[in-house]
Structure 1
Amino acid sequence: AAMPKPVPVDVAEVARGPLEVTIDEDGITRVKDRYVVSLPLTGSLGRLELRAGDAVTEGGVLARLEPMAPQLLDERSRTQAEARVAAAQAAQRQARAAVARAEAALALAQQTEQRQTQLAERGGAAQVTLDQARFEARARQEELTSARFGVRVADYEVRMAQAAVGRIADARGKPDDAQEQLEVPSPITGRVLRVLHQQEGVVQAGTPVLELGDPSALEVVVDVLTADAVQIEPGANVELVRWGGPDTLTGRVQRVEPSAFTKISALGVEEQRVNVVVEITSPREHWEALGDNFRVEAHIRVWREEDVVRIPSSALFRRDEGWAVYAIDGEVARLRHVEVGRRNGFEAQITEGLEAGVQVIVHPSESVTDGVMVRAR
């Protein structure tokens, strides 16, 4: 009888080495601390000269407002202005309390970092523990910076609200032609992110006109499935790719936000997702072309081992409620049941059933069965 022809197959060798599992999703950049400038009084606003990207300095004039005629500033206007002062002062107290909490958290994190550094120098602390302590200290420093930004903004809000009350009181005793323009100063040093109101004319109190921020202080927001988010821990390493530059950027997970939201996928399926906030750790000069709301692709590491038995995921298939592969024994395919650990979509960890050096068949066709002769393509 004629010998059966061997089935041509693609093969791969079982190897030992590092394996990493990541969650891959799109993200967008955003300025960490941003501020929307609103008008403190109803009045006539001249055309704004500022454009998106223009630099502003703290205290510099952003806009000039001609307040309404004194006879139009009734008791209701004064009551509303006084209510805005009270609200601004309450926000100011909250902002100062947030700074106090952030300072205490930073002091504790720095003490922990110092202790872990001393232990590491004596060989009594693992590198991963020291890295986590350093990350916590850096994260608490970022939180303190944001809290202090909040205080500056709150102080500005109080000053503007008080200025509005004072202007209403002064206006009642002056004729129309004696009214002075109200200058709206910048609360921060940074750049104009967006111009929200460009038209000249009468505008109501509280109308937002400009959004300000510092584009050099960016973070990345990545929305992930909630089922994936439970695997992500603060401090996890992140790679940022396909952002437009030649280099892969590095980052760390700052936090996983506590509240999820519903999002409709491209296939029309409702998904529960949650935002993961990532700090960019690459030097600023590597990503200075990035701006607010730019798209990036994030690879968030959730697991890594340096020495595992691994095979291509395409060699695996389901068999008897478990996993199996076809290993090549000489010129014959042999069915082997295996135990699978972690998988990343390209490779899988084999915890039992295979050893390094064995050749396995990838993408096995229906022609491949246990005991059939095969030949590598």
Structure 2
Amino acid sequence: MVWIKRVLVILAAVAVLAAVVMAFLPQPVPVDLAPVTRGSFEQTVDEDGKTRVRERYVVAAPLAGRLQRIVLEAGDPVRAGQVLATIVPSAPALLDARTEQELRARLGAAEAARARAATAVASAQAALSQSRADYARSRELAAQNFLPRSQAERDALAVELNARELEAARFQLQVAAHEVAQARAALSQARQGAMPGVRWDIRAPVAGRVLKVLHESEGDVPLGEPLLELGDPADLEVVVDVLTTDALQIKPGDPARIERYGGAPLQGRVRLVEPSAFTKISALGVEEQRVNVLIDIVSPRAQWQALGDNYRVDARIVVYRRDDVVKVPSSALFRRGEQWAVFVAADGRAQARRVRLGRRGGLEAEVVQGLAPGEQVIVYPSDAVKDGVRIAGRET
């Protein structure tokens, strides 16, 4: 019995000693793990933007006078030539030289705008004819495997974009012709002198819908006072302002996704990166140079019927894409000297490893060298994670 007691005492002492040793040993650091994967990689420029009607027209008062109450409301359809508003012109005592000069200047400006619009139509027609010829050649060569199919797709996109440019140019020509007619009629009316009670009808220059009623109530209005905005809500574009450093990577034809507007994601395509930038103050009070990027919505109209003018959206513009690449979460990367590195989980310990990257996106990065698919990396590593430290990982 004595030896049994001695054995029990020895075992208890060993257990206490082991507990003390374990208490003073460093505990594994809890970490979040994510796998290194292989698949498609996209580098995107993500910014918020807003929708707007591509071609809008502000109807203004062609004469000074008393405007009758406008009965149209936002959303009402209008046809070309429809009466939008009525003005009873003021009856000046005489037509002074200054007023006549202003009306002549307005007529001259309207005629110059019509000439520019006609030139733009001719230029757009030529560009469309050239792009159609290029697409026909590239499609034939691609069918014979003499040209990459991607080139034929780019030429097809150019045809679509040029067709839209021609449509917009024709719209501007129609509007300019209406402006000339209004300016010429206003000058003629002023020369003849306004007769009491004579009504002047303001007609719609284009077909579309009323976007805004800027002056609804009856009252006196001066020459050039904005009255209504017209446009086609089905012809929307997305305007996204991006940093000029990001704009250098974006080019016309790049795909884009329109998200977080209240519906399913939409497909879009960059039409234009505007050539002039502007200064914008960020939420942190920092001055930034930004530039507008115009995106056409290419998804079927049925998918975005509820989307209207000046709605907020999020745009994700794809500037780089590759398939079958090794990629790692961007949250696992950190700088070590002049190179990028990650912590790899190996045999229960953290192992620092330098990696060579290709492109970096918002959530993922393309790995050229240093990692293999299937390995586990530590994401958001804390200061407690060091090379060789014991870790207790949990997959994210």
Q: TM-score, normalised by structure 1?
A: 0.94
**Residue among 231, 234, 252 paired with 1:213:** 231
Residue 70 of structure 1 deviates from its aligned partner by: 5.2
Residue 368 of structure 1 deviates from its aligned partner by: 2.9
Can you list the C-alpha shifts for 1:154-213, whole angstroms capped at 9, x where unaligned? 1001111111122123337xxx44x53111111010111111122322221111111111
1:26 matched to 2:43? The reply is no
From the superposition, tell whether residues 374 and 204 of structure 1 become closer, same or farther in structure 2 (CA, over 3 Å).
closer
SS of corresponding position for 1:129: helix
Residue 138 of structure 1 deviates from its aligned partner by: 0.8
**Residue among 113, 134, 145 paired with 1:112:** 134
Greater CA drift, 333-342 or 289-298? 333-342
Greater CA drift, 161-170 or 22-31? 161-170
1:355 matched to 2:372? The reply is yes
Q: How far apart in 1 are the matches of 2:188 and 2:381?
A: 81
Q: How far apart in 1 are the matches of 2:106 and 2:382?
A: 72
SS of corresponding position for 2:93: helix
Letter of the 1:11 partner, please give it. Answer: L
Note the aligned Cα RMSD (angstroms).
Answer: 1.7
Counterpart contact for 2:44–2:362, Cα < 8 Å:
no
Letter of the 2:30 partner, please give it. Answer: P
Corresponding residue number in structure 2 for 1:123: 145
Corresponding residue number in structure 1 for 2:120: 98
1:185 matched to 2:203? The reply is yes
Q: How far apart in 2 are the matches of 1:363 and 1:84?
A: 64
**Residue among 233, 252, 261 paired with 2:269:** 252
1:285 matched to 2:302? The reply is yes
SS of corresponding position for 1:161: helix
Corresponding residue number in structure 1 for 2:255: 237
Letter of the 1:346 partner, please give it. Answer: L
Q: Which runs of 5+ in 1 are unaligned?
A: none
Greater CA drift, 310-319 or 367-376? 367-376
Letter of the 2:296 partner, please give it. Answer: E
Residue 223 of structure 1 deviates from its aligned partner by: 0.5
Greater CA drift, 252-261 or 315-324? 315-324
SS of corresponding position for 2:127: helix
Greater CA drift, 367-376 or 88-97? 367-376
- Percent identity between matched residues is 51
**Residue among 46, 64, 83 paired with 1:61:** 83
Corresponding residue number in structure 2 for 1:336: 353
Q: Which runs of 5+ in 2 are unaligned?
A: 1-17
SS of corresponding position for 1:71: coil
Q: How far apart in 1 are the matches of 2:87 and 2:179?
A: 16
Corresponding residue number in structure 2 for 1:158: 180
Q: How far apart in 2 are the matches of 1:344 and 1:337?
A: 19
Letter of the 1:353 partner, please give it. Answer: G
Can you list the C-alpha shifts for 1:228-249, whole angstroms capped at 9, x where unaligned? 111111111110011112x111
Residue 13 of structure 1 deviates from its aligned partner by: 2.1
Corresponding residue number in structure 2 for 1:261: 278
1:42 matched to 2:64? The reply is yes
Can you list the C-alpha shifts for 1:21-78, whole angstroms capped at 9, x where unaligned? 1111111100011111111111221111112111111001111111222524434333
Q: How far apart in 2 are the matches of 1:193 and 1:289?
A: 15
Counterpart contact for 2:42–2:322, Cα < 8 Å:
yes
Counterpart contact for 2:95–2:191, Cα < 8 Å:
no
1:223 matched to 2:241? The reply is yes
Q: How far apart in 2 are the matches of 1:369 and 1:45?
A: 77
Letter of the 2:140 partner, please give it. Answer: Q
Q: How far apart in 2 are the matches of 1:240 and 1:232?
A: 16
Q: TM-score, normalised by structure 2?
A: 0.89
Greater CA drift, 257-266 or 190-199? 190-199
Corresponding residue number in structure 1 for 2:389: 372
Counterpart contact for 2:36–2:375, Cα < 8 Å:
yes
Can you list the C-alpha shifts for 1:81-101, whole angstroms capped at 9, x where unaligned? 222211111111111011001
Residue 265 of structure 1 deviates from its aligned partner by: 0.8
Q: How far apart in 2 are the matches of 1:303 and 1:321?
A: 24
SS of corresponding position for 2:48: strand
Corresponding residue number in structure 1 for 2:334: 317
Letter of the 1:339 partner, please give it. Answer: R
Q: How far apart in 1 are the matches of 2:295 and 2:357?
A: 31
Residue 109 of structure 1 deviates from its aligned partner by: 0.8
**Residue among 31, 43, 53 paired with 1:9:** 31
Counterpart contact for 2:208–2:230, Cα < 8 Å:
yes
Letter of the 1:232 partner, please give it. Answer: I
Can you list the C-alpha shifts for 1:279-331, whole angstroms capped at 9, x where unaligned? 00000111111111011110011111111111112222221221112223333
From the superposition, tell whether residues 337 and 166 of structure 1 become closer, same or farther in structure 2 (CA, over 3 Å).
same
Count of residue pairs the alignment pairs up: 372
From the superposition, tell whether residues 348 and 78 of structure 1 become closer, same or farther in structure 2 (CA, over 3 Å).
same
Q: How far apart in 2 are the matches of 1:168 and 1:188?
A: 26
From the superposition, tell whether residues 165 and 352 of structure 1 become closer, same or farther in structure 2 (CA, over 3 Å).
same
